[in-house]
Amino acid sequence: MEFTAQQIAGLLNGQIEGDATATVTKLSKIEEGETGSISFLANPKYTQYIYTTKASLVIVNKDLVLTAPVSATLIRVDSAETAFAKLLEMYNQIKLNKTGISKLAFISESAKVGENIYAGEFAVIGDNVKIGNNVKIYPQVFIGDNAVIGDNTTLFAGVKIYSETQIGKNCIIHSGTVIGSDGFRFNPQNDNQKIPQIGNVIIEDDVEIGANCAIDRATLGSTILRKGVKFDNLVHIAHNVEIGENSYLAAANVIAGSTKIGKNCMFSGQVGIVGHVEIADNTIITAQSGISKSITKKGEVLMGSPAFEASKYRKTYVHFRNLDALVQKVNQLEKDKGK
C-alpha cells in the first residue's frame, strides 16, 4: 500500500518538513533507507545517517537540530521511537488482516465459529471447539476437541492445540508451538508405566508465545499462563506449572512440574527451575541461572547455578577466577614452610 507524508503525519500527529506529497510503500532502517521507504531517527548514534539516507520519509524528534541539508522529507513528532512503533503496529495489522475460510480447511460440524475468522489451508478444527470473533488460524494449525479460542487471537502456521485447551482473548501464538501435550510423568516403581495426563492448559488474555514452545497439560487440574505473560522462542513449561501475570521468559527457559511463578517476573535466556518450588513476584533471574529452591523475597535479582543474590554472585565470581592463583600461593607457602 502507498501512503503520503501528509497521511502519515496525520496518523502520528506530526509536523511535515519537506514535500507533503512524498509517498512511501515500505519501511526501512535509516542507514539502509531507499527511495519509497520510511524510516526513523531516535538514537543519537545514528544521527549521521539523516544526511545520507535515501529514505523518502524520516520520522524524527521535534527537537532535532540539523547541521546540514537533508534530502528526505521529515515528520517531526514528540517521540520518534514511539511514533515509529505505532506505525509498525498499524503496518502489521494491515499485513496480517486475513479473512475467509479456505476450501481446504476442515471444521467439525459440532464446532462453533465466531464472526470474521480466517482459517488457512489444511487447518483442522475438532469436535465441540469454540472459536471467538476475529480469530486468525493460519495454515496447518490443529485445534483439538473441546478447545476454546478467544476473540482476536492469532495462531500462526503449524501451531498444535491439544484437546481441552482454553486460550483467552488477544493472544498470539507463533509457529511450531505445541500446547497441551502430555506432562512427563512415569512410574519408576512399576516399569516406568506412563501416568495418564488428564488435565488441561489454560492461557488467559493478552498472552504471546514465541515459536517452538512446548506447554504441557496438567496431570490433574490445569497448567496456567496468567494474563499478559510473554514467552520468547523455545520455552518449555511442564505439567501443573503456573506463570503469574505479566511475567516475561526469554528463550530456552525450562520450568519443571508444579512450580509457581509470581507476577511481573523477568527471566533471561536458558534459565532452569526445578519442580515444586515457588518464585516470588518481581523476581529477576539472569541468563543460564539454575533455581533449586523457592524464592520467597519479592524483587530479588538472582544469578548463577545454583543461583543466589546477583551482587554477591559477582563478588564471589571474582574470587573464583583467582582461585588457581590462590591455590598456587598456598602450595608455595606450604613448600616454604616445610624447608
CA 284 vs. chain centroid, Å, equals 16
Annotate 180-222 with DSSP letters as a single string: EEPP--EEGGGTTEEPP---EEEE-TT-EE-TT-EEEPPSSSE
Q: For residue 194, which phi and psi values (nearest 5 degrees)?
A: -65, 135
The CA angle 272-214-170, to the nearest 5 degrees, is 110
- Could you please report the per-residue DSSP string of 70-127? -SSEEEEES-HHHHHHHHHHHHHHHHT---EE-TT-EE-TT-EE-SS-EE-TT-EE-T
Q: Counting Cβ atoms within 10 Å, is residue 115 exposed (0-12), middle (13-18) or buried (19+)?
A: exposed
CB atoms within 10 A of CB 108: 15
Give the H/E segment covering residue 302. strand 301-304
**Cα–Cα distance for residue pair 242/246, rounded to 1 Å:** 12
Q: Among candidates 309, 216, 304, 316, which has minimal Cα distance to 268?
A: 304
**For cell 494474563, what's the residue?**
227
Q: In sequence order, which residues have a C-beta less than 8 Å from that of residue 303 and are 6 or more positions away?
A: 285, 286, 289, 309, 310, 313, 314
283: cell is: 523476581
Phi and psi for 57 in degrees, rounded to 5? -130, 140
- 300, 303, 270: which is closest to 286 by C-alpha? 303
What amino acid positions are annotated as catalytic residues? 239
